[in-house]
Structure 1
Amino acid sequence: MTSLSPPRHPRSPRRLPAALAGATAGALVLGLAAFPARAESGTGAPLGTVARTVGDAHYEPGPCPRTADPVPDLARARCGTLTVPENRSRHKGRKITLAVAIIPAAAKRRAPDPIVWLAGGPGDDAVSEIPMALAGGLDRDRDLVFMSQRGTYSADPELTCPNIDAFNARALGLVSNAPSTGRLHVEATRECRDRVASQGADRSAYNDIESSADYDALRRTLGVAKWNVFGISYGTHLALNYMRLHPKGIRAVGIDGVLPPSIAGGAVTWKAAREGFDGLFKACEEQPACATRYPHLKDTFLRLVSELEARPVTTTVTVPDRPEPVKVVLDGGNLVGWLTSATHVAAGVPRSLDELAHGNPQRIAEQLAGGKYSPQAMGRVAHGLVYGIFCSQWTPYESRADVIRGGRRAFPSFPRSMPANAPQLAWLHDDCRAWDVPAAPPSIRDVTRSDIPTLLLSGGFDAQTAPSNGAYAARTLSRSVAVTVPYVAHVVFADSTCAQTMTVSFFDRPDAPDTRCLAGLRPPAFEIAP
């Protein structure tokens, strides 16, 4: 019921970040040529200022979209809307509208090939991620194109379900893996389904197949001959399908926090948690002050999960702007969920676990509640798109038994009540039965085989999309570079200047991204309690 983007943390307001271990680079296949490309408007006018219809898609310049939070750079953007069929298999079906914002390149002499940004989630709005892209310098000499994926906050229809977000917050006061919690989970999903149905939305049309066609339509209606693609988190999943389904017009692809569609689901989410946690624990072991003050941190965590799953601890915490204290049940499932997100603020993790082991759950409970009750966690995610992808592309091709096996492989010591509910994907098969959409064609799980130059970025502390996913996807991308940035969590571009440097250099020269900064990276200085 949650998206793969990490919940907003009270100390880390960005929506999508990154992670540890020795930096490993995938093999670069030499011989990549320069990649000349043109961004044509058809009239020589700036990109996004000309109305155009191509096939069944129409782009129309217009006002910039509404956003949940202020995005000051929209003041200099060129905006408009893309109108496309909701379901391309129904020739006379209804149309939907997707918001588009184009940020002009900062340099007077811009490169001719823009970059299109694929948002995380699933269900995040690309327009809201403009500040992240600009903070990383992607607009240095290229126009940046942002389009709200179908169903997201600035699209029409907007398929957010605030009741899901409210339930996710309330659920902190419930036992995570109790059957009664599962029943409430499904009730909230049904309410969301009914809300989406009341808007007349075709739930089966919110998936990677239609979204990939939307991006191809946008490129053509903008008059762009070739462009570059940069996707984060779920946006990597979409980018890999987009490369496979509509390769024409793509010059180069950068993906960060890699989730290959061929393995997406609960089992790989368990694997990601194990890899990200192990990376963080290893960094503590290798830092003498941390290893001395918090010895055997991994064993402590595993022991706490088992103890709390058997005997949950209940506490209350204060959340900003809420008059009443918030109840938090700290059990094994919630502890795993906390650490999955807390890798973004890794420096404090050993101290928090040590406090919990000595009977003080407050720091962890406050962080859990602060993330779930944050205003940024309410009404922003398009759950209609989330379930459209999970329930047509994931659960039809991964059984509950597959998820359980994946959980047991990753964490063999965890209690039997835990493996069926992978981090971020609790009660997913039950929810998908309630969502009730047909399975996507089996080809949606095909690996992407391509010679499009691709940079695959992973974080060594990434507990949401496994660091090893980058190398896995790179095996069938013949002109690829896979890099793990150490000591950063999910979506390294958000938190690592090194990752930003590599990404910008990659779009300049897809044959030779600059990875020299990896050699100078150091682990975080872990907090040491007095």
Structure 2
Amino acid sequence: MAVIPATSAKPATDPVVFMAGGPGADTFDDIPFLVDSGLNRDRELIIMAQRGNLYTQPHLACPETDRFTAKAVGLPYAAPSTERLLLDAVKTCRDRLTAAGIDLSAYNTTENAADFADLRTAMGLPSWNVYGYSYGSDLALTYLRKHPQGIRAVAIDSVAPPRTTRLPVTWRSAHEGIDSLLKACAAEPRCKSRYPGLRRTLTEQVRRLEAQPLTLNARPPRGGDPVKVVLDGGALLNLLVANAVPATDVPAALEELAHGRPERFARARAADSLQTVGEWAHGLTESVACSEWVPGTSAADLLNAGRRAFPGWPDTVLAQAPQLPFQHEVCRVWNVPDRTAAQRVTTVSAIPTLIVSGTFDTKTGASLARDAARTLSRSTSVQIPGIGHWVVPQSPCAQHVLASFLASPTVPPDTVCVGGLAPKPFTIIPK
């Protein structure tokens, strides 16, 4: 745990506690982004690693999965041979963790929420404010439902509501974020003129690459030796969902790809070859996903969701959840109990809540914020144009709205800056 002092000479007495995304991310890596966003300007900022994460004991790292991810850049995205390698890595990690006496079923959102409730009590804090993004919003809403005592206000960013978060919803979010980006290009005269029919171009490239994958050598964006990269339809879709190419460059990258210049996407794919081994808590990721997100969904549910999101795309692409390939098979290996009855519950609350989303978010689509807001009677929703996943660190306007909200949660926050926002101009390449 860490406490970041407030920079104000007269800070408020109610701190902000942060709930990180993932699940499985190193919470302490987020501190610079939080400080740069002003989270500790007027009050202390409390950081606690979720159970299983780096700097906790035990740490549910899976270096086997990290090494697979580094190797996978040179493999077809959804091939059976790639699946076998992933499942071997997952099984090796699971066997190692359970042999060490770790109960993988104890790593879930209910237990995470209880840990934060215990933290507030242990610190002797009568009240605090909660800020969580992505999976941290799922955790924050669970915490709000189960432990509302002492919560002054809640801010959730890039929202994953517990009731809605299940594997097929990944396709809904991917469609929303990509569709919003394509519409933004069509609304910008220079982008529309230079890249007409961008939606058709994307579909054509996914289909072409899935039928005839490209194999090439590419240098990772941050340096290093060139590595073998395979670009197929599944890899292209996942690069877009991962925001591996900046949103402003996506139309240019698709245009280049259509004209035989795949370098932008290839370099972005090569980035995963430089995996940091042993930091991400894949064990926490799988324990949450396999007990809370996957049960009650089938391969057919997932494929049908993909077909609704992207009609005409190959089934081999649509059969895998964006960023969670082979997840049903992974969960059969991970083998933790179904917790959906306890977790897929709507949070109903009158505690003041700020909900922030980005129109280009391909991981937690902006419409999920509406799902959460319906039962939060004192909530304010803010949508930031042209921003992807984890909005506040990327948007000075969102930072201002959050500061206004935390200063006086019981009155509407100052959202005037939102009205003048537009996506950043897209990159225009010469013809």
The alignment's TM-score, normalised by the length of structure 2, stands at: 0.96
Question: Quick check: 1:410 aligned with 2:309?
Answer: yes
Question: Quick check: 1:102 aligned with 2:3?
Answer: yes
Question: Quick check: 1:523 aligned with 2:420?
Answer: no
Instruction: Determine the C-alpha separation between the residues in 2 that align with 1:407 and 1:475.
Output: 26
Residue 310 of structure 1 corresponds to 211
The 1:196/1:321 distance shift into structure 2, 3 A limit, reads farther
One of 111, 125, 128 as aligned partner of 1:227: 128
Residue 445 of structure 1 corresponds to 344
**Cα distance, 1:417 vs. partner?**
1.4
The 1:167/1:383 distance shift into structure 2, 3 A limit, reads same
Instruction: Determine the C-alpha separation between the residues in 2 that align with 1:116 and 1:331.
Output: 41
**Cα distance, 1:313 vs. partner?**
1.1
What is the correspondence of 1:467-482 to structure 2 with a 5 Å cutoff? 467-482=366-381
Offset from partner CA, 1:450-477 (integer Å, 9 cap, x none): 1111111110000010110001110011
Amino acid at match of 2:374: R
One of 72, 77, 86 as aligned partner of 1:171: 72
Residue 249 of structure 1 corresponds to 150
Range 273-282 or range 411-420, more displaced: 411-420
Amino acid at match of 1:135: D
Amino acid at match of 1:203: L
SS at match of 2:318: coil
The 1:300/1:267 distance shift into structure 2, 3 A limit, reads same
**Cα distance, 1:514 vs. partner?**
1.1
One of 385, 388, 404 as aligned partner of 2:284: 385
Contact 2:22–2:134, Cα closer than 8 Å, also in 1: yes
Contact 2:245–2:264, Cα closer than 8 Å, also in 1: no
Q: CA RMSD in A?
A: 1.4
Residue 117 of structure 1 corresponds to 18
Contact 1:118–1:229, Cα closer than 8 Å, also in 2: yes
SS at match of 2:216: strand
Contact 1:114–1:228, Cα closer than 8 Å, also in 2: yes
Instruction: Determine the C-alpha separation between the residues in 1 that align with 2:350 and 2:368.
Output: 18
Count residues in correspondence.
428
What is the correspondence of 1:113-512 to structure 2 with a 5 Å cutoff? 113-319=14-220, 322-323=224-225, 325-342=226-243, 345-370=246-271, 372-374=272-274, 377-440=276-339, 442-510=341-409, 511-512=411-412
**Cα distance, 1:112 vs. partner?**
1.2
Offset from partner CA, 1:153-191 (integer Å, 9 cap, x none): 111111111221221121121111212211111111111
Amino acid at match of 1:276: G
**Cα distance, 1:322 vs. partner?**
4.2
**Cα distance, 1:380 vs. partner?**
2.4
**Cα distance, 1:400 vs. partner?**
2.0
SS at match of 1:466: coil
**Cα distance, 1:344 vs. partner?**
6.7
SS at match of 2:3: strand
Residue 47 of structure 1 corresponds to none
Amino acid at match of 2:234: G
Contact 1:277–1:461, Cα closer than 8 Å, also in 2: yes
Structure 1 alignment gaps of length 5 or more: 1-99
Amino acid at match of 1:245: K
Structure 2 alignment gaps of length 5 or more: none
Contact 1:470–1:483, Cα closer than 8 Å, also in 2: no
**Cα distance, 1:239 vs. partner?**
0.7
Residue 24 of structure 1 corresponds to none
The 1:382/1:402 distance shift into structure 2, 3 A limit, reads same
Instruction: Determine the C-alpha separation between the residues in 1 that align with 2:398 and 2:100.
Output: 41
Contact 1:315–1:328, Cα closer than 8 Å, also in 2: yes
| Percent identity between the two aligned chains | 47
Instruction: Determine the C-alpha separation between the residues in 2 that align with 1:200 and 1:316.
Output: 42
**Cα distance, 1:210 vs. partner?**
0.6
Higher helix share: 2
Range 222-231 or range 413-422, more displaced: 413-422
Amino acid at match of 2:254: L
Instruction: Determine the C-alpha separation between the residues in 1 that align with 2:428 and 2:415.
Output: 32
Amino acid at match of 1:484: Q
SS at match of 1:418: helix
Contact 1:317–1:326, Cα closer than 8 Å, also in 2: yes
SS at match of 2:162: coil
Instruction: Determine the C-alpha separation between the residues in 1 that align with 2:33 and 2:277.
Output: 20
**Cα distance, 1:373 vs. partner?**
2.9
Contact 1:280–1:343, Cα closer than 8 Å, also in 2: no
SS at match of 2:242: helix
The 1:223/1:148 distance shift into structure 2, 3 A limit, reads same
